Amino acid sequence: MIYLDYAATTPMSAEALEVYQQVAEHYFGNSSSLHDIGTSSQALLETCRSETAKMIHGKKEGIYFTSGGSESNFLAIRSLLKGNEKQGRHLITTKTEHSSVYQQCVSLEKEGYEVTFLDVDHEGIISLHQLEKSIKADTCLVSIHHANSETGIVQPLEDIGNLLKEKNILFHSDCVQTFGKIPIDVEKLHLSSLSISSHKIYGPKGVGALYINPSVSWLPLYEGASHERGMRPGTVDVPGIASFVSAAQMMHNSMEVNQEKDEMLRHFFIEKVKQLSLPIVLEAEDATCLPNIIGLRIQGIEGQHVMLECNRKQIAISTGSACQVGSQSPSRTMMATGKTAEEAREFIRLSFGKDTTHAHVEAAVAALKDLIDEIKA
C-alpha cells in the first residue's frame, strides 16, 4: 500500500527501534530510584533532555517529557494559567488550532476564563493587527500553532513573538507538525512554551515533550506529582524517550535534505494536477506551507468518499487531522478560511515522508483522476 498520511503518524525508523531495544535492555531501571541501576537511567534521561533542548535552542531545565503533543498542549496551557493567575484570565488562540488546544480553550470558557478565538484569512493566516486589537489588560496567554496539521500553513511566529514580548504576554505554540521539519528557535520566536511529539518524526507513539522557558512561572496541574520535576505523574519511559530523541536527531540532521525532497514532490504533484486540468483546489497554495503537507479539495466530491476510494486503490490519505476523525462535522480549518460546509467536507490531505517517491505521487494523481472520471461518467 502507498502511504501518504505521514502528518497523521510515521512508522518507527530502524534506528529508533534499535535504540528502544538497547535502552530497554540495558537502562531498565526507574530513573527515580537511587541505586546505581536507577541513576544510570537518570543520567541517560538528562542527556536526552539536553539533546532535545539543543534542537530548539532552549535550556535543558525547560524540557519535560510527556506522552505526546496533546498532553504537552494540555499541560502547557493549564500549568501556565495556574502559575500566572494574577496576570489575568483572558487568553487568545485561533479558530484553526489542533483539537487538543481548541477543545481545551472551549472548556476553559466554561470554567470562567475569557477566550478570544482569532479569525484567519482565506489561506489560514492570522492577522497581527487583529491579534494586537484583541489584547486586553488581563490577557495572560496566547496559544498559536506553528503549522496547521491539515493545510500545513506556517504562522508568522517570529512577528507574533515580538509583539507579545513587548506586551509581556506568555506565548505557547503547538509545534508538533514543524519539529524536525523546519528550524525552531525558542529564543528567536520568544516562545514561553512549545509542544512536540515523537510519532510524527519516526519515533515511538506515546512519547513527546513540553518546553517551558525556565524564567516563566508555572504551577503543577497534578498536586503531589513526583515525576518530571512535578509536571506529571507516572514512571518515566526512558527507552521511549531515548528512542524519540534518537529519531529527532536524525530528522534534525537531515532537515534541509528532507525539505528539498518534499518541495520537489509537492511541485511534481501540483504540476501533474495542472497538466491534467483536474478540478482540484489546492488550499493555501500561495502561503508559506510545510512542503510535506498538501491540503486540497476535489470540487463536488466529498473527502470521505475520495479517501475510501483511494484506500480501495491501495493508497492511504486522510480527510484531515487524525484527532478529529469520526466527527461528521466539516473541517473546522476549512470553515474558518471561509468555505461553505459543503466545500469543507470536500477536504482531503496528502502528506509525504521519507519513503515517498515520485512514483507514489504519480499513482495518487492517477487515482484522483480515475475517481473524477468515474464521477463524471
Question: Considering only CA atoms, which of 65, 71, 52 is closest in space to residue 251?
Answer: 52
Q: Please give the pLDDT value at position 323.
A: 57
| H helix count then E strand count, the chain | 12, 12
The angle, 0 to 180 degrees and rounded to 10, between the axes of the packed helices 238-253 and 14-26 is: 150
DSSP label at residue 324 = G
CATH ID of 2-8+255-376, from 3.50.50.60, 3.90.1150.10, 2.60.120.20, 3.10.20.30: 3.90.1150.10
228 band by pLDDT with thresholds 50, 70 and 90:
confident
Q: Please give the pLDDT value at position 121.
A: 97
Residue 261 has pLDDT above 80, yes or no: yes
Do 14-253 and 2-8+255-376 have the same topology in CATH? no
Q: Please give the pLDDT value at position 224.
A: 81
Give the distance, in angstroms, between the CA of residue 91 and the centroid of all CA atoms in the same chain: 20
Within 10 angstroms of residue 92's Cβ, the number of other Cβ atoms is 25
323 labelled catalytic: yes
- Residue 243 grid coordinates: 528512542
Q: What is the pTM of this model?
A: 0.95
Residue bearing the bigger pLDDT, 223 or 340? 340
3-state helix, strand, coil in the chain (%, to 5): 45, 15, 40
Q: CA 146 to CA 152: how far, in whole Å?
A: 9
Q: CA 308 to CA 316: how far, in whole Å?
A: 9
Pairing of strands 90-94, 114-118: parallel
Q: CA 12 to CA 237: how far, in whole Å?
A: 16
Distances (CA, A) of 107 to 283, 292, 335: 30, 32, 21
Q: What is the CATH number of domain 14-253?
A: 3.40.640.10
275-307 residue pLDDT tens: 999 999 999 988 999 999 999 999 999 999 999
**Burial group, residue 192, by CB count within 10 angstroms (0-12, 13-18, 19+):** buried
Q: Is 269 helix (H, G, I), strand (E, B) or coil?
A: helix
Q: What's the start-to-end Cα distance of the chain, in Å?
A: 27
8-41 residue pLDDT tens: 999 999 999 999 999 999 999 888 788 888 899 9
- Residues listed for the chain: 377
Within 10 angstroms of residue 376's Cβ, the number of other Cβ atoms is 8
Q: Please give the pLDDT value at position 286.
A: 87
Q: What's the whole-number mean pLDDT along residues 91-113?
A: 97
Domain chopping of the chain, boundaries: 2-8+255-376, 14-253
Q: What's the whole-number mean pLDDT along residues 126-139?
A: 98
Query: Mean pLDDT over all residues of the chain?
Result: 95
Catalytic residue among 48, 105, 140, 323: 323
**For the chain, where are the alpha helices, taking DSSP H only?**
14-26, 36-55, 69-83, 99-110, 128-134, 157-167, 238-253, 255-275, 303-312, 332-336, 341-344, 358-376
Q: CA 375 to CA 134: how far, in whole Å?
A: 46
- DSSP states of 13-71 as a string? PHHHHHHHHHHHHH--S-TT--SHHHHHHHHHHHHHHHHHHHHTT--GGGEEEES-HHH
Q: What's the whole-number mean pLDDT along residues 221-237?
A: 87
Residue 219 has pLDDT above 90, yes or no: yes
Q: CA 124 to CA 286: how far, in whole Å?
A: 11
181-211 residue pLDDT tens: 999 999 999 999 999 999 999 999 999 999 9
